[in-house]
């Protein structure tokens, strides 16, 4: 009888040990899977135009900010900023990109009054210290959806090599030459978004390149949401006025 009890006790301990080993293995399996599917910036391209793997569907997080800082240096973060989509010279968007011009009008006041939007703006002025070809980078996100609205990048002569990269990645660009101005531009369109590279001269006569990515659908969503919020506020004020007396 004693031997049988000892055997049962031994079997019970052995089964318990096996269960613990299996549980530990399952935990490690799911733990490793979780680490693989939650990188700081996804290793897979979000599709469309991207900058440092940030694209139209990327959502701003503190981890993304830290990753950008590691690649571009220290940033300046601002919230509730104006949105200025204009580039090159006054009238450029109206002439060549009327849809972007229309969005810029909707986002700003015709009288010149300052209109602030619920945004997150990151500015990098020392990216060259990180051995990048950019001397200025500006990223603006919607603080509602946390998605990028536009990105502006400035580069010196290295911009010519960047154009070759764009041609290889997005196909042959369309060209713009504007009369009366010393400059030209190349642009690509994908899913209504626009990638624009403008070649200009600095004050010393040297070539520099201004790169702009417009995430048009994200901009449209911001405008629609702002209109909805404005309408709801106006209706709320009307109701408050009716019940005040």
The one-character DSSP state at 183 is: -
77 falls within a domain: yes
Q: How confident is the model at residue 46 (pLDDT cuts 50, 70, 90)?
A: low
What does pTM read for this prediction?
0.78
> Is there a domain that residue 20 lies in?
no
Q: Give a yes or no: residue 38 inside a domain.
A: no
Q: Residue 13: is its pLDDT beyond 50? A: no
Q: Is the pLDDT of residue 168 over 50?
A: yes
Inside any domain, residue 67: yes
Domain of 134 in residue numbering reads as 62-233
Determine the pLDDT at residue 55: 95
Residue 25, domain member (yes or no):
no
Looking at the chain, the number of H-run helices and the number of E-run strands are: 6, 8
- Quote the mean pLDDT of the chain: 82
Sheet holding 184-190, edge to edge: 76-81, 117-124, 134-142, 148-155, 207-214, 193-201, 184-190, 174-177
> Which of 24-28, 80-84, 87-91, 112-116 is most confident?
80-84
What DSSP state is assigned to residue 102?
H
Domain count, the chain: 1
Establish if 130 belongs to a structural domain: yes
**Which pLDDT band holds residue 191 (cuts at 50, 70, 90)?**
confident
In a domain, 34, yes or no: no
Average pLDDT over residues 7-11: 44
User: Is residue 9 over pLDDT 50?
Assistant: no
Q: Is the pLDDT of residue 72 over 50?
A: yes
In a domain, 106, yes or no: yes
């Amino acid at each position: 009888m004693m031997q049988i009890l000892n055997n049962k006790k031994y079997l019970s301990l052995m089964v318990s040990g096996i269960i613990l080993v299996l549980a530990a293995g399952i935990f490690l399996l799911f733990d490793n899977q979780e680490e693989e599917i939650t990188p700081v910036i996804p290793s897979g391209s979000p599709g469309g135009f991207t900058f440092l793997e940030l694209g139209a569907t990327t959502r701003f997080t503190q981890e993304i900010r830290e990753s950008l800082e590691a690649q571009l240096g220290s940033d300046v973060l601002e919230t509730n900023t104006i949105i200025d989509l204009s580039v090159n010279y006054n009238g450029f968007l109206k002439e060549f990109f009327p849809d972007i011009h229309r969005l810029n009008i909707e986002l700003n006041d015709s009288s010149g009054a300052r209109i602030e939007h619920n945004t997150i703006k990151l500015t990098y002025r020392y990216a060259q210290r990180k051995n990048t070809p950019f001397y200025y980078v500006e990223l603006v996100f919607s603080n509602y959806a946390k998605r990028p609205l536009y990105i502006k990048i400035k580069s010196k002569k290295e911009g010519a090599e960047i154009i070759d990269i764009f041609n290889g990645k997005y196909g042959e660009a369309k060209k713009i030459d504007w009369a009366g101005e010393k400059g030209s531009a190349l642009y690509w369109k994908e899913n209504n978004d626009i990638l624009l590279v403008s070649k200009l001269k600095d004050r010393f006569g040297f070539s520099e390149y201004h790169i702009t990515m417009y995430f048009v659908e994200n901009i449209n969503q911001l405008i629609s949401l702002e209109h909805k919020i404005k309408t709801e506020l106006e209706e709320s004020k009307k109701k408050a006025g009716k019940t005040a007396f």
